[in-house]
Amino acid sequence: MKLTHLIALKAIVLATALPMTAQADSLWHPAPTEQGFTYHSDHFKSTKTRAQLMAEVDAARKDGTLALMQRGRSVPIKSSAAPKTRQQVVDEMRSEAPEAQRARLELYSGG
């Protein structure tokens, strides 16, 4: 009977200690504050080299996304689909179902 209690106690201690060890490597730690967490940037571990990061920054500078991000603007999403012509868009709008048209008008009218 004592052996089962000892095994159960070890399992409980192990189960309660494991989450704490997982949080030690995390950037965010729970805190008893209004915010509920603290941020520790020194725990960040990057998998990229400095050369890879500099290449990404140079690419962002060349395509204009770096300037947008520095000003807090959203970066446009690059589509892999071929762009549609104006006539294709007009044709799609004319042939859409009445339910879809109502939903679109509600979305854009704000109500």
pLDDT in tens, 70-108: 999 988 888 888 889 999 999 998 999 999 999 988 888
Q: What is the pTM of this model?
A: 0.39
pLDDT on residue 25: 67
pLDDT on residue 104: 86
Q: Between the CA of residue 27 and those of 5, 18, 23, 46, 65, what are the distances in Å? A: 37, 17, 8, 12, 26
pLDDT on residue 51: 95
Q: Tell me if residue 97 falls in helix, strand or coil.
A: coil
pLDDT greater at residue 16 or residue 111 = 16
pLDDT tens digits, one per residue of 8-57: 777 776 666 655 555 566 777 788 888 888 877 777 788 899 999 999 99
Contact between residue 66 and residue 58 where contact means Cβ atoms under 8 Å apart: no
Cβ neighbours of residue 92 closer than 8 Å, sequence gap 6 or more: 84
